[in-house]
Amino acid sequence: MSNPTQKIALVTGANRGIGLETARQLGRQGVTVIVAARDQGKAQEAAGTLQAEGIAAVPLKLDVTSSADIQAAARFVEEEFGRLDVLINNAGIFAEKQFGGNNSASVTQAELRRTFDTNFFAVIEVTQALLPLLGRSAAGRIVNLSSVLGSLTLHAKPGSPIADAKNLAYNASKTALNAFTIHLADALKGTNIRVNSAHPGWVKTAMGGAEAPMEIVDGAKSSVALALAEDAPNGSYTHMGKPLPW
């Protein structure tokens, strides 16, 4: 069992990009970080990188689309730590052929199903499997990595900053994820668990591309703040502490 005063966090898709930086920033705050990744070797490599920086990092193989992996992850957290304080649902994919424009008339069923499997259905399954462990925390925090591209309000507004980026599979998966945030936050009101959606920003990652204006170090800040806030909101959709329109 772990030190009851040291927070335990699990970050999915933590082997690179925003996920790895999120784990790093949590670790620098004294949190023990479970570095979850689809590939065991990549999880170990990422955890080793953080350990070399003096961070308490533990690797975990977790393909979020695998029910067997999810159940194994829940057992691992139970056996090693006995509880979970923070869950960052960071793992996500962009499966469409190109970014931008409007592909609503041409997006394929394969692109839609693959995107929703990872960005929506997997998040729900992972969260539900770990909820009993989060319930043992004095201040459980669930952060769903969403996107401003999930905002129906902004997509419906001509001339908005995202008006020309209508990739249906990705955008709709994040809109659905926001719905999960609202619903779960309501289901858990009155408990010690808070559930929120965070937009990291347009960040220089493998998904965001080199032309993105934000650095990875800044892309992790929104979710880390929600994860560690003593008086965290519940059911919010924010970027850098500022609310986004649903």
| Total number of domains in the chain | 1
In a domain, 87, yes or no: yes
Nearest 5°: CA angle at 34, between 37 and 57? 110
In a domain, 224, yes or no: yes
In a domain, 3, yes or no: no
- Structure tokens that stand for 193 in this block: 């668990």
Q: What is the predicted pLDDT for the residue at 81?
A: 98
Full domain range(s) for residue 70:
8-243
- Comparing CA positions, the residue from 30, 29, 129, 8 lying closest to residue 80 is 8
Phi-psi sector, 156: left (phi>0), alpha (psi -120 to 50), beta:
alpha
- Which pairing describes strands 57-61 and 242-243: parallel, antiparallel, or unpaired? unpaired
- Structure tokens that stand for 138 in this block: 């004095």
Catalytic residues: 170, 174
Residue for token digits 């193989």?
A: 61
In a domain, 89, yes or no: yes
- Comparing CA positions, the residue from 2, 22, 30 lying closest to residue 205 is 22
In a domain, 1, yes or no: no
Provide block-wise average pLDDT over 10 residues at a time, the chain (246 residues).
Answer: 79 96 98 98 98 98 98 98 98 95 97 98 98 98 97 97 96 98 98 97 61 75 96 96 96
Q: What is the predicted pLDDT for the residue at 85?
A: 98
160: domain CATH number? 3.40.50.720
For residue 62, give the amino acid letter.
Answer: L
